[in-house]
Structure 1
Amino acid sequence: MTLLQVRGLNKSFGGVRAVDGINFDLQEGELLALIGPNGAGKSTTFNMVGGQLKASGGSIRLLGKELVGRRPRDICRMQVGRTFQIAETFASLSVVENVQMALLSHYGKGFSLFGSARKLYRDEAMELLSQVGMQHHAERPCSELAYGDVKRVELAMGLANDPRLLLMDEPTAGMGPEERNDLMALTKRLVVERRMAVLFTEHSMDVVFAYADRMIVLARGRLIAEGDAQYIRNHPKVQEVYFGTGKTFENEQAPSQVTP
């Protein structure tokens, strides 16, 4: 089932067109990578989908409902979750309290007096932590966690609104190879189990080729290629914009399963 439809999307900053007429779809149960060299328009496109930037033109539809013009918090209420390049957690709060905060926000409950809210949604928070393998660290302050574990907590927070669509901005930034693989394998499993979709940006090509079901490649604000790992790996225009003529992705890890 098609979850997200992007048509004719563009964004201009003054006289500069950062995104120029992009079209793509995202299916339920799919992990879609949005990649391209620096300045390609990835972050601009990503932030238009999440509502952080307003499109200059075009359409972004989630299950037929238009997202363009909606505020980020309104998009969040439409079951769109998000994680950030730099993990956004409350370092002084415990792991479970961080997830409770996300649930309180989702349910529209105030948390100015958090002491009186510590029991609210605790069971739900623990269930989310169990899904990301962090239930045994529930009472630890986030400040004590390794960065890879902080990213797992942030992922649990991103699941608090039971998202149909999860936006992940550079999910493995700052992580070592083992942590990167662990986080993306977990994300892949959650996509399948929850039947949600993930749109993610990523600079680590090993992560992209190993875990993305499909990729869209931008260059200078335009979509230049779309397809599975094998197609993107061998696409001459993609090789040109990343490496220059004659170089390839041959040293990157191939995914274990390719979706045509």
Structure 2
Amino acid sequence: MSLLSVRGLTKDFGGNRAVDGVSFDLRPGELLALIGPNGAGKSTTFNMVGGQLPASAGSVKLNGAELLGLPSRRIAQLGVGRTFQIAATFSSLTVRENVQMALLAHHRKVFSFWRSAARQYAAEADALLGQVGMREQAARPCSELAYGDVKRVELAMSLAAAPTLLLMDEPTAGMAPAERNALVGLVKQLVTERNLAVLFTEHSMDVVFAYADRVIVLARGSLIAQGSVDEVRRDAKVQEVYFGTGKTFGAHAQEAGPA
């Protein structure tokens, strides 16, 4: 049964159709990659699903509830978490405090002074940090962390609201290969443990083919292929869009450019 159902999603910018009738489903416990070359429309599609960009037409339903037209905050309250291409953390706060802030926002608590909030949800924050391998660094300022660890903190923050759907925009951007694999491997583990549905955009084909359960491919605003990693890897249209005829992902995975 689908958790997320996208039908006929369309976006026009003036006379230019950036996304043209895209449809796909996402089930609980599934890691779905959204890929495409430059100008394919994947960022536009991603931002319409998350509520950052209004759609011109179509439908985006979570457990049967329409998301289009709702503000991002309301979409988050319905069970949609999000991480960003550039990690959204507070560098002046500690690792634990960042997650506490996310928990406070989820519980709709507002404090005039951080000192009043510092004792709130500390145990819950540490539990989330434990899930992403950052419990031992809870007291460190985020400003001292390596970038890969900052992305782990952001992931813990996105889990604060116990989402059923997690949207991840270029989660490995700016990361070394070892960091990329460690982060997406962690996400894959969380997908299984939490029965979480994850939609992510990604330019690293090695990451996509190693961890995605299914892949959807956009080109010039249209969905040109979807299926398992092997099905998409073998698809002649996908190969031509990325590399020209005759080439395969297996030999040229690293040549794919960013969105």
TM-score (normalizing by structure 1)? 0.96
1:188 maps to 2:188: yes
Q: How many residues were matched structurally?
A: 253
Aligned partners of 2:127 and 2:233: how far apart in 1? 39
Aligned residue number for residue 228 of structure 2: 228
Aligned residue number for residue 12 of structure 1: 12
Structure 1 portions without partners, runs of 5+: 254-260
TM-score (normalizing by structure 2)? 0.96
Q: 1:111 Cα shift?
A: 3.6
Aligned partners of 1:209 and 1:252 also within 8 Å? no
* Helix, strand or coil at the partner of 2:26: strand
Aligned residue number for residue 107 of structure 1: 107
Aligned partners of 1:83 and 1:167 also within 8 Å? yes
Amino acid at match of 1:158: S
Amino acid at match of 2:59: S
Structure 2 portions without partners, runs of 5+: 254-259
Aligned partners of 1:19 and 1:222 also within 8 Å? yes
1:95-135 CA-partner distances (Å, limit 9, x unpaired)? 00000000011110114311111011111100000000100
Aligned partners of 2:71 and 2:196: how far apart in 1? 21
Aligned residue number for residue 208 of structure 1: 208
Aligned partners of 1:50 and 1:178: how far apart in 2? 28
Aligned residue number for residue 258 of structure 1: none
Aligned residue number for residue 119 of structure 2: 119
Root mean square deviation of aligned Cα: 0.9
1:251 maps to 2:255: no
Aligned residue number for residue 26 of structure 1: 26
Q: 1:251 Cα shift?
A: 2.4
Aligned residue number for residue 97 of structure 1: 97
Amino acid at match of 1:161: A
Aligned residue number for residue 145 of structure 2: 145
Aligned residue number for residue 199 of structure 1: 199
* Helix, strand or coil at the partner of 2:218: strand
* Helix, strand or coil at the partner of 1:179: helix
Aligned partners of 1:102 and 1:47: how far apart in 2? 21
- Identical amino acids, percent of aligned pairs: 70
Aligned residue number for residue 170 of structure 1: 170
